[in-house]
Amino acid sequence: MESVQAIKQRFGIIGNSETLNRAIQKSIQVSPTDISVLVTGESGVGKESIPKIIHQLSHRKHNKYIAVNCGAIPEGTIDSELFGHEKGAFTGATQTRNGYFEVANGGTIFLDEVGELPLTTQVRLLRVLENGEFIKVGSSKVQKTDVRIVAATNVNMFEAIEKAKFREDLYYRLSTVDINLPPLRERQGDIFLLFRKFASDFALKYKMPTIKLNEAAVALLLKHRWSGNIRQLRNVAEQVSVLEQDRNITANTLKAYLPVYGTSNLPAVIKTKKDESDFSSEREILYKVLFDMKSDLNDLKQLTLELMKNGNVADVEKDNESLIQKIYGKETPKKQAYDSPREETEVLSIPEINTNNTEIIPPVDKYHFAEEIEEEETLSLHDKELELIKKSLERHEGKRKLAAAELGISERTLYRKIKQYDL
């Protein structure tokens, strides 16, 4: 069995990080077996090196090694690419085609970005992993294949499983052994080594003198986040090598090639999808409006009955002060609405009839009210909702939080209603 150092030299891997060495050691140990391996890590950390190591150290090294970028193949054609198709299986299938699992029989397939696979393809892949069987698109014939699968992903698989974007059973079949590659920011001692290697390679490629960093530039290099990992570091080394005339690079020069994090002027990404809670809030406010309408009508009936029985408006107003305030808010109805002078009201007198064959009709009370013309009350939910929101805001002096609590809706929903009704 080859040593970790020998493998690094053979495959051009730079770095002495303990976590990197552990990942390579794992790769060496699983290579002689046929178990599935899942390589995890951020984008740009060099995950494609691990499957090559596993294949070259296995008994399959003389057979085919095929790397498939699952994220780059359209969803409609990925089944055909992986498993093949029969002639006439779909529009454009003018001839039978062998898929990667058939071509790589006896070898290794590297499925990069496996987390991007459609769910239907995941079911087919699970069958291959379990018993080595697959069916071509447009065929009913079951075929066998002997392929070792090494997969890689930069997706958080547990989050994808929770969101039903990745099958849990497939995850556990793929990750019999999980090899994680650390991000570059966790390999502080390897950053400058990698930069020097890239600078040397580009100097040879472009026939230029090799660039050199002073101490301040090296410190800046180590301090940077490197969110793009090794791929980003290589890109910066190439830019500096090609563009800079002075081959001695200072911190100020290098700084121009490093993106500044946290100062982006791009607009924030706002979730625009209307979730279930928003619909629930809409229902709640409608129910609240209906119940409040019913309550207000009952209260108005009660006041009307009191006025009919007592006739004295002042007494009724005094006895039902809390009820009036509940209906009208802080401002009670104008006095003239029911305190207008009674002498201005024209009352039709009904003559008293007193015969032997008729009943005596009692005299008309001097405090009879004139017949009111009842206006038809609107039953529009829109108007009632608007009225309730106005009342609540006036009662709480424009404080949306208190108004929303009284209305039984969220402050966010109330704010949307205020904008909708232009309050």
Q: pLDDT digits over 213-265, tens only?
A: 999 999 999 999 999 999 999 999 999 999 999 999 999 999 999 987 654 44
Residue of 341 and 175 predicted with greater confidence = 175
Amino acid at 242: V
Q: Are strands 142-144 and 148-153 parallel, antiparallel or unpaired?
A: unpaired
Neighbouring C-beta atoms of residue 14, cutoff 10 Å? 16
Rounded to the nearest integer, the mean pLDDT of the chain is 82
- Does residue 370 carry a pLDDT above 70? no
Do 4-182 and 185-255 show the same overall fold? Answer: no
Backbone angles phi and psi of 263, in degrees to 5: -120, 20
Please check the confidence at residue 377 and state whether its pLDDT lies above 80.
Answer: no
Confidence class of residue 309 from pLDDT cuts 50, 70 and 90? Answer: low
Name the 3-class secondary structure at 95: coil
Would you call 400 helix, strand, or coil by DSSP?
helix
Rounded to two decimals, what is the model's pTM?
0.62
Contact between 288 and 408 under an 8 Å Cβ cutoff? The reply is yes
DSSP string, 303-354: HHHHHHHH--HHHHHHHTHHHHHHHHTTSPPPGGGT-S-GGGS---------
Under 8 Å between Cβ of 220 and 254: yes
Integer-rounded Cα radius of gyration of the chain: 40
pLDDT value of residue 296: 76
Q: What is the largest CA-CA distance in the chain?
A: 134
396: pLDDT confidence band, cut at 50, 70 and 90?
A: confident
| Residue 187 · residue 19 · CB < 8 Å | yes
pLDDT for the residue 260: 77
pLDDT in tens, 151-186: 999 999 999 999 999 999 999 999 999 999 999 999
Find the helix or strand (DSSP H, E) in which 151 lies.
strand 148-153
**Based on the number of CB atoms within 10 Å of its own CB, is 100 exposed (0-12), middle (13-18) or buried (19 or more)?**
buried
Top CATH class, 4-182? alpha beta
Q: What percent of the chain has pLDDT over 90?
A: 58
Q: Hey, where are the domains in the chain? A: 4-182, 185-255, 276-421
Q: What CATH number is given for 185-255 in this structure?
A: 1.10.8.60
Across 65-79, 133-147, 310-324, 396-410, least confident range: 310-324
Higher local confidence (pLDDT), 10 or 411: 10
Which distant-in-sequence residues (6+ apart) come within 8 Å of 120 by Cβ? 79
Handedness of CA 384, 390, 394, 400 (dihedral sign): positive
Q: What angle do CA 21, 23, 26 make, to 5 degrees?
A: 110
Residue 33 is given by DSSP the state S
**Rounded percentage of the chain residues whose pLDDT exceeds 70:** 76
pLDDT at 412: 78
d(CA 391, CA 387): 6
pLDDT band at 98, cuts 50/70/90?
A: very high
